[in-house]
Structure 1
């Protein structure tokens, strides 16, 4: 089975470029934006050899995992365009639940559905966690188009069949969590889920609803947080997101700090991390 768009994505006019192996799906998408391709187009692969995560870190995509990048064009400024990362997180969380329902839900002894298995959460700004272990990461890159719009590439790397070892944080994959879903199945579900959440976002007009949906699935809300800001570390409690999607940290002295970017650790990890 190869990669295929879902019905919703096809009907909405999305295109698809699929590779058996590629250096970076984000790089492929950006290259097309720079020669005038406005999208929306997905670039996907089972095996990425030169992927990258946030802050230039490498992101491994061995055979069987999924690397997917979506190129879209928006009439928005860069801060608003960056909130598409929240859209992607919501879509990815829904896609995982669709193809791997055994991870989150099972039939109880009384015949009713009841929660079971890892809890899927969204970690600010752009990760998906399963019981606190990273199962996916999202990287946004933005370029200006000649017509004044922005080309936004939303890259998603999902641990489907394998997870890297030796990282400074816990990582897992769908296979370890008991799912036999394939990268191809996950992509089809993701492409369709994106259409729904992108419609809610509505060129940024629906950001408040995206924020509400995202906070309902947020990791670490109300828990201790540590944020590296250059050479400094800010500690406090993850209180909420502001209306622009920035992290609000309540410090011990009662002050509220607004964070647009930073290396973040939540919960118990915040007390030991970033030493």
Structure 2
């Protein structure tokens, strides 16, 4: 099984419009000869009530051993998305409050994006603190646990690019939130999945440009991520199509 493209970014082309992929940036976190798994990075969900929190229903993380990220971590990560375990936080494991229409309507809701209103259990001192001032992100239409994409190697189950780590274990998520020195991260629910044939066809059709990810994506604001990457991503694709090492940007030719 190969895992050579883990850590690549899929940057939606300028031709993509009218779907959740529009101006999207996706991090490939797992790939083998048959399948690929990716997380959208710049699709924040607008929560009109307090944010989701880790609930006792998600399991006691102290009962499990969480090894640090390693070369085999990506294969463990694939299992995370296939069969979420008790020590992971999932949308199904947090309490859902259905309030009045006025309380749950999100004026910023975008067509084609899910709308959620989640709170923690009553009396939980950590309720509403999971996001730590950050938005929960929509990673894709396929269900799965809440995961964090971050820059702390000791809190990751898998590495997804240089300096980029992925965590789904409850204790790793809690540690990120309680870190004395804040670690840049994104909390994501849901993911994208392809067969190798599907992904190859989408790239060949110009849906995605593929470029290596760097840890800079962790500290780049959602609204700036796609604009910051699209020029270099397009240049990289054109270079591959032409069989050359580099295509100069227009301003470099003047």
TM-score (norm. length: structure 1): 0.27
Instruction: Identify the structure with bigger relative contact order (alpha carbons < 8 Å, sequence gap 6+).
Output: 2
| Richer in strand (by share) | 1
TM-score (norm. length: structure 2): 0.28
